[in-house]
Amino acid sequence: MCGALALGLYWYGRNSLLTGNPFYPYGVNVAGNQVEAGQGPTFHLDVPTLVANLRLAWEKFGDKQGRIVPDLPDTTGWGWVAYGMGLPALVWALLRRPAARALALGFVASGLTLLLSSPTSPWNMRYMIWFPAVLCLAVGMAYDGLSGTRRGAAKAMLLLFAGCLALNFSATVNYNLVKPQELEAMLARPFRDRQAAYLRVHVPVEYENALIHVPSEAILGYNVHANGFVYPLYRADYSQRLVYIRIVPGESCSEIARTMRDAGTRYLVGAPESTDDSVLARLHACGEDGTVLRELGVGLYVLRQDS
């Protein structure tokens, strides 16, 4: 805790000296009054925010609202150890271990502070992923309490702990997004050709076209904005070299081709929701014209050899 405070105070002090706002780039609104103006989102510290977040946290408690996925919408993601063993262990520790009371109080105070300042959203429990640590610590306390006097019960607790860990791990392997036959087809491929794009999970089909048609030794150009991840384009063995191709809306096909040549690539990939619509429309028009670019597959363009 002291280390966290020291690191936090350093950054708050640095931000205050450089910008005048210790919470830069965020703004802070306390009980309806703007305390700090920021360039990013404004955090509203007030009782209604805390009440709304507590209500949402209660609705997400137990992870009954939906399946566990990486960004934890409408769930806590705390898992079997926390819920199956941590809750009863915490009750035991609070009754039998005075030190656990101060520890739990610290976790609760930190959690309430976070819920006081965090904007309400289906995903904000990912900021509370540290909270079940107190439940896991309580499991350790309960085990210590049993291991000295009731070794049979302690061994049973270890087996239960191992089972809960296995269940936690199993929930992270697939998230129920990939069909078993697709996993089997992936495992049938050579190890270095198990491309994430082939599974088509949150990956545009245009990426798969790029992996199929672009040689791995070639440089692949892409036009994808900041929120469009490109790591599947590197291939499973990281053999594909990538280069960003900047395209200004309204550029001609010849200008786009010149930018690609200057970057050392003949190939360019773009994808809906990851590439600006006006840029996609221009590339599609260039591909249909066929003078300098032609379309190899959906969203994948190549320079003509004679252009």
Residues 121, 135, single domain; the answer is: yes
Residues 120, 200, single domain; the answer is: no
pLDDT-derived band at 246, boundaries 50, 70, 90: very high
Name, in order, each residue with C-beta under 8 angstroms of 17's C-beta and a sequence gap of 6 or more.
none
Sign (positive/negative) of CA torsion 49, 52, 56, 58?
positive
Distance, in Å, from the CA atom of 138 to the CA atom of 101, rounded to the nearest integer, reads: 10
Q: What's the token pair of residue 22?
A: 């210790």
Residues 266, 254, single domain; the answer is: yes
pLDDT tens per residue, range 66-121: 777 777 788 888 989 999 999 999 999 999 898 899 999 999 998 998 888 888 88
pLDDT-derived band at 226, boundaries 50, 70, 90: low
Looking up tokens 């966290």, which residue turns up? 4
Distance, in Å, from the CA atom of 224 to the CA atom of 196, rounded to the nearest integer, reads: 18
Domain termination residue (choose one: 121, 147, 173): 173
Write 6-12 long-range contacts (CB < 8 A, 24+): none
Distance, in Å, from the CA atom of 117 to the CA atom of 36, rounded to the nearest integer, reads: 14
Burial state string for 42-59 with b = 16 or more CB within 10 A and e = fewer than 16: ebbbeeebbeebeebbee
φ and ψ of 65, to 5 deg: -80, -30
Distance, in Å, from the CA atom of 83 to the CA atom of 62, rounded to the nearest integer, reads: 7
pTM for the full predicted model? 0.64
Mean pLDDT of 28-55: 81
What is the DSSP pairing of strand 42-45 with strand 27-30?
parallel
Domain termination residue (choose one: 138, 173, 208): 173
Residues 83, 32, single domain; the answer is: no
**With 80 as the cut, is the pLDDT of residue 6 above it?**
no
Distance, in Å, from the CA atom of 203 to the CA atom of 180, rounded to the nearest integer, reads: 18
Residues 22, 106, single domain; the answer is: no
Sign (positive/negative) of CA torsion 27, 28, 33, 35?
negative
Structural domain count, the chain: 3
How large is the C-alpha radius of gyration of the chain? 26
**With 60 as the cut, is the pLDDT of residue 273 above it?**
yes
How many residues belong to the chain?
307
What is the predicted pLDDT for the residue at 194?
86
| Nearest by Cα to 47 from 120, 122, 116 | 116
Higher pLDDT, 33 or 161: 161
Residues 38, 54, single domain; the answer is: no
What is the predicted pLDDT for the residue at 2?
66
Separate counts of helices (H) and strands (E) for the chain: 11, 8
Instruction: Look at phi and psi of residue 298 and say left if phi exceeds 0, alpha if psi is from -120 to 50, else beta.
Output: beta
Residues 119, 103, single domain; the answer is: yes
Domain that holds residue 57: 46-173
Residues 287, 186, single domain; the answer is: yes
What is the DSSP pairing of strand 219-222 with strand 241-244?
parallel
3-state secondary structure of 216: coil
Residues 56, 156, single domain; the answer is: yes
Q: Are 97 and 146 in contact (CB under 8 A)?
A: no
Residues 292, 193, single domain; the answer is: yes
Distance, in Å, from the CA atom of 263 to the CA atom of 257, rounded to the nearest integer, reads: 10
Q: What's the token pair of residue 166?
A: 């296995």
Domain termination residue (choose one: 173, 205, 237): 173
Residues 196, 216, single domain; the answer is: yes
Residues 25, 52, single domain; the answer is: no
Q: What's the token pair of residue 214?
A: 């672009």
Q: What does DSSP assign to residue 26?
A: S
